[in-house]
Amino acid sequence: MRILVAMSGGVDSSVVAGLLKSQGHDVIGVTMKLWEGPNGEMPETGCCTSADSEDARKVAAKLDIPYYVLDYTASFSENVIDNFVDMYSQGLTPNPCVECNRSVKFDHFIDQAKKLNCEKVATGHYAKIVKNSDSFELHKADFLDKDQSYVLHMLDSKKLAQIEFPLGTISKPEVRQIAATLGLKTAFKKDSQDICFVGKKDYRNFVSKRIDVSSKGLIVDKHENEVGTHGGIHAYTIGQRKGVPGGQGEAKYVTKIDVENNKIYIGSKDELTTKKFLIEDVSFVDSIEYDNLSIQTRYNSDDVPCNIQKVDESTYQIELKNPTLGVAPGQFGVIYQDTKLVGGGRITSKVLEEVYE
Amino acid sequence: MNKNDYMYLDHAATTPMREVAFEAYKKTEMDAYANSSGGHALSRKAKNILEESREFISSCFGAAPNEITFTSGGTEADNWIIKTPFVDQEKRSELTTTQIEHEAVIASAENVDKKGYKVNFISCDEDGITNAEEFKQSINANTLIASVMYANNETGVIQPIKEMSQSVKDVNPKTLFHSDVVQAVATKKIDFHSLGIDSAAISGHKIGGPKGIGVMFLKTGYKIPSLLHGGKQELERRAGTVNVSGVAGLAAALKEQQQNLEEETKLIENERKIFETKIKEEFDVKIIGENVQRLCHISNIQFRNINSETLMVALDLNGMGVSRGSACASGAQKPSHVLKAMNVDDEVINNHLRFSFGWNIEIGDGNKSAEILKNTIKEII
């Protein structure tokens, strides 16, 4: 079948293209240009650099598949960048990869694939799609250290039917081995870890260049005692220790961000633990499950056993069986039943009110 | 790639080399490879080829042999003429050009602007014709250069060059009137002197010649500083070993083209018309510059509700090569500055594709191309 492969220029997507090609599929490689400089140039750092697209082009040439760089900058800017900046200004901790997957990679990209007569799209994500009798399930990758199902939680059965994740059963060293065997120049390329459009720079500068966030405010403890001042709430996230005024010996962390009153609350590590919180804009892969559930509250965090309870159509309350650190509004709560991904939604700031009750 | 396997409709970007050009290029590389500036027999052989070619090439444009200098291509010629005269001039000197020039001129003009000189970018109407009144108004005693392309590379729309040159001379007879004729020479007979063109840029590969060779025409009486410094080649105007094989290839290509120009352009125009008619019959499209004079080989089509990036990829997969605006280094494509200047709506500015025919087109290609395009559009809508 004809498959459109998203090629970032990294080893993972290179191997996806190689594997699908060797399985006899009609593979088309595409680098999504997500982000650009003021004159339309590809960025120099982060991912989506011109060096990356050049790597992707070389891999495509080696595999003898058609290859294109397509412009997704408008969609990315509108759905990912604006959202990223907006979330920080609201004292939330955004996850741009989730937004990108939701609105760019597995929406706009799938549409384009259909127009190009492709039956499926494929990416280098580490996750598994399992076909059931009449639906598709999303599972964690076999090698859990690389599992990326968290950032794919918004994909429902209908979407999964149009996607291939060929790396779900393969370990990273094996991926590199395959790349080397296929003679792909990306075989030993370093993985990118940064937020693609921020790169190695501080995200705070990125945000403050785009909106006025410099308004100074107070840093207080849970009893509203003033312990310092801050230069703008965008520079703080829940659980942050850096830049927080220290107490006598005991480390202090950001425990709450009060946007309305422009106040940062700090406290001890204990005050960061959460037991109950809400997730909103919840979606489920297929049917809702209630038994033997666990939740990840950040990408690659541990699974915490939980119960879920419906609040309304798109809001659920999560009750953790053990109080947990670092549940940050803006991040996603992703619910699993063993390796099967059940669904997920965005953690709301209401979690913090629970903490203070 | 075999012509039967792939419908190449991107001749405005570059053309396949004519057999005669390739042979001339190869023969020169084999038999007269010496440096044309040397003092021995092989050098003289190269020099003879160079000068014979110069005579022929200049005659094709009604120019004298010493009015043309060989360059690496059109971009170098444009850069040379636009940028170098501003080096030693007083800051009150001005440059006038249009908003729809090729990037080689636009970027050179921006460079002049950055140095502190006044640069006027003249607007155009919705058909892509430069606003004559605004153009004339911009010319004054300080206008050093006025630069207007003969025909646009994205739309094929032809400018009234003779009238524009005249309007410049009426105000300031000393102003150098430059014209980028790179795209126009593909299908137009051009005589520089009778059109009032004082300097021009030509590129070999747009007419079936080799890539990497071009011509800078400069009318006798005008002098501009060198762009490249080094050896004293090309009457001390341009340093660097002369690309004699490229020159020989260009001369051979031009010879074949000039001999067959009428026949070639008739065929191209005919096939392009068949192509446009077939597409218009079935789809709601707009052909840019349809009601004004344009080059016969370019068809810039605006589609309704079809993203041209997707269409271009789908066409490629179906065996047809076309292009959008100008490609950037990565291969992604930006909205065209030409269409923007023509006030094309933001909503449809990404719905354009350029189909450009060339010298190797055959009877039936218009029909064949229309079939591929029609089927591809049906796939993606």
pLDDT in tens for each of the 357 residues of chain A? Answer: 999 999 999 999 999 999 999 999 999 999 998 877 666 666 666 556 678 888 999 999 999 999 999 988 888 888 898 888 888 888 788 888 898 898 889 998 999 999 999 999 999 999 999 998 889 999 999 999 999 999 999 999 999 999 999 999 999 999 999 999 999 988 888 887 667 777 667 777 777 777 776 678 889 888 888 888 888 888 888 888 877 776 567 788 888 888 888 888 888 888 888 889 999 999 999 988 889 999 999 998 899 999 999 998 899 999 999 988 888 888 999 999 999 999 999 998 764 454 344
Residues 244-273 of B with CB under 8 A from A: none
Domain-terminating residue out of B234, B255, B276? B255
pLDDT band at B320 (very low <50, low <70, confident <90, very high): very high
From the candidates B60, B124, B296, B328, give the one annotated as an active-site residue: B328
- Determine what percent of chain B is predicted with pLDDT higher than 70: 96
Which of B314, B332, B379 is closest, CB to CB, to A69?
B332
Task: Please name the residue of chain A whose CA is at the shortest distance from the CA of residue B378.
Answer: A115
pLDDT at B103: 94
Give yes or no for A68 touching B (CB within 8 A): yes
Q: Residues B332, B190: one domain?
A: no
Q: Identify whether A138 is part of a domain.
A: no
Say yes or no for a CB contact (<8 Å) between A116 and B316: no
pLDDT band at B187 (very low <50, low <70, confident <90, very high): very high
Domain-terminating residue out of A251, A270, A289? A270
Burial degree of A258 (CB within 10 A; 0-12, 13-18, 19+): middle
Task: Please name the residue of chain A whose CA is at the shortest distance from the CA of residue B381.
Answer: A115
Q: Residues A6, A79: one domain?
A: yes
Name the domain count of chain A.
3
Domain-terminating residue out of B231, B255, B279? B255
Q: Which residues of A touch B329 (CB under 8 A)?
A: 41-42, 50
Domain-terminating residue out of A242, A270, A298? A270
Q: Identify whether A300 is part of a domain.
A: yes
Q: Residues B122, B241: one domain?
A: yes
Helix axes A11-22, A172-181, angle to 10 degrees: 60
Q: Residues B204, B294: one domain?
A: no
Cα separations in angstroms, A335 against A146, A282, B124, B158: 18, 10, 59, 63
Task: Tell me how far apart the alpha carbons of residues B101 and A341 are, in angstroms, rounded to a whole number.
Answer: 55
Give the number of residues written for chain B. Answer: 381
Q: Residues A224, A300: one domain?
A: no
Q: Identify whether B85 is part of a domain.
A: yes
Helix axes B41-60, B244-282, angle to 10 degrees: 30
Q: Identify whether A74 is part of a domain.
A: yes
Q: Residues B301, B373: one domain?
A: yes
Q: Residues B218, B275: one domain?
A: no
Say yes or no for a CB contact (<8 Å) between A68 and B314: no
Q: Residues A277, A347: one domain?
A: yes
Q: Residues A113, A20: one domain?
A: yes
Q: Residues A177, A263: one domain?
A: no
Q: Identify whether A221 is part of a domain.
A: yes
Q: Residues A13, A84: one domain?
A: yes
Task: Please name the residue of chain B whose CA is at the shortest distance from the CA of residue A117.
Answer: B379
Q: Residues B102, B62: one domain?
A: yes
Q: Residues A101, A227: one domain?
A: no
Q: Residue B330 belongs to a domain with what CATH number?
A: 3.90.1150.10
From the candidates A47, A48, A100, A118, give the one annotated as an active-site residue: A100
pLDDT at A253: 87
pLDDT at A260: 83
Q: Identify whether B1 is part of a domain.
A: no
Query: What is the three-class DSSP state of A265?
Result: strand
Q: Residues A171, A103: one domain?
A: yes
Q: Residues B33, B47: one domain?
A: yes
Q: Identify whether A34 is part of a domain.
A: yes
Tens of pLDDT along B10-25?
999 999 999 999 999 9
Q: Residues A285, A240: one domain?
A: no
Q: Residues B230, B319: one domain?
A: no
Say yes or no for a CB contact (<8 Å) between B329 and A66: no
Scanning the structure block, which residue is given the tokens 């699908």?
Answer: A20
Can you give the residue range of the structural domain that contains B309? 7-16+261-380
Q: Is A306 a catalytic residue?
A: no
Q: Identify whether B2 is part of a domain.
A: no
Task: Tell me how far apart the alpha carbons of residues A124 and A168 are, in angstroms, rounded to a whole number.
Answer: 9
Q: Residues B279, B141: one domain?
A: no
Q: Identify whether A146 is part of a domain.
A: no
Scanning the structure block, which residue is given the tokens 């599929």?
Answer: A25
Domain-terminating residue out of B215, B236, B255? B255
B interface test, pick of A115, A117, A121 with most B CB neighbours within 10 Å: A115
Tens of pLDDT along A310-348?
998 899 999 999 988 888 888 999 999 999 999 999 998
How is residue A146 annotated by DSSP?
G
Q: Residues A81, A109: one domain?
A: yes
Q: Identify whether B266 is part of a domain.
A: yes
What's chain B's average pLDDT?
Answer: 94
Can you give the residue range of the structural domain that contains A342? 272-356
Q: Residues B289, B181: one domain?
A: no
Which of A33, A40, A66 is closest, CB to CB, to B316?
A66
Q: Is the pLDDT of residue B133 over 60?
A: yes
Q: Identify whether A155 is part of a domain.
A: no
How many interchain CB pairs under 8 A, A with B? 46
Report the predicted TM-score, pTM, of the whole model to 2 decimal places: 0.88
Task: Please name the residue of chain B whose CA is at the shortest distance from the CA of residue A42.
Answer: B330
Distance from CA of B300 to the nearest CA of A (A): 21
Q: Residues B192, B213: one domain?
A: yes
Q: Residue A256 belongs to a domain with what CATH number?
A: 2.30.30
Q: Residues B196, B326: one domain?
A: no
Say yes or no for a CB contact (<8 Å) between A53 and B331: yes
Span B286-293, average pLDDT: 95
Q: Residues A117, A227: one domain?
A: no
Distance from CA of A211 to the nearest CA of B (A): 26
Give yes or no for B334 touching A (CB within 8 A): yes
Residues B139, B146: contact at Cβ < 8 Å?
Answer: yes
- Determine what percent of chain B is predicted with pLDDT higher than 90: 89
Strand order of the β-sheet with B118-122 is B68-71, B214-218, B199-203, B176-180, B143-147, B94-98, B118-122
Q: Which residues of B touch A33 (CB under 8 A)?
A: 330, 332
Structure token digits, residue A212: 């006025």
Burial degree of A242 (CB within 10 A; 0-12, 13-18, 19+): exposed
Structure token digits, residue B88: 């030693």
Q: Identify whether B142 is part of a domain.
A: yes
Residues A31, A183: contact at Cβ < 8 Å?
Answer: no
Give yes or no for B330 touching A (CB within 8 A): yes
A interface test, pick of B106, B330, B378 with most A CB neighbours within 10 Å: B330
Q: Residues A118, A14: one domain?
A: yes
Span B322-348, average pLDDT: 78
Which of A42, A66, A112 is closest, CB to CB, to B330?
A42
pLDDT band at B85 (very low <50, low <70, confident <90, very high): very high
Say yes or no for a CB contact (<8 Å) between A116 and B333: no
Residues 90-129 of A with CB under 8 A from B: 112, 115-117
Give yes or no for B314 touching A (CB within 8 A): yes
Q: Which residues of A touch B322 (CB under 8 A)?
A: none
Task: Please name the residue of chain A whose CA is at the shortest distance from the CA of residue B319.
Answer: A66
Give yes or no for A28 touching B (CB within 8 A): yes
Say yes or no for a CB contact (<8 Å) between B313 and A116: yes
Q: Residue B121 belongs to a domain with what CATH number?
A: 3.40.640.10
Weakest-pLDDT range from A50-54, B189-193, B268-272: A50-54
Give yes or no for B327 touching A (CB within 8 A): no
B interface test, pick of A70, A73, A109 with most B CB neighbours within 10 Å: A70
Span B142-154, average pLDDT: 97
Name the domain count of chain B.
2
Q: Which residues of B touch A7 (CB under 8 A)?
A: none
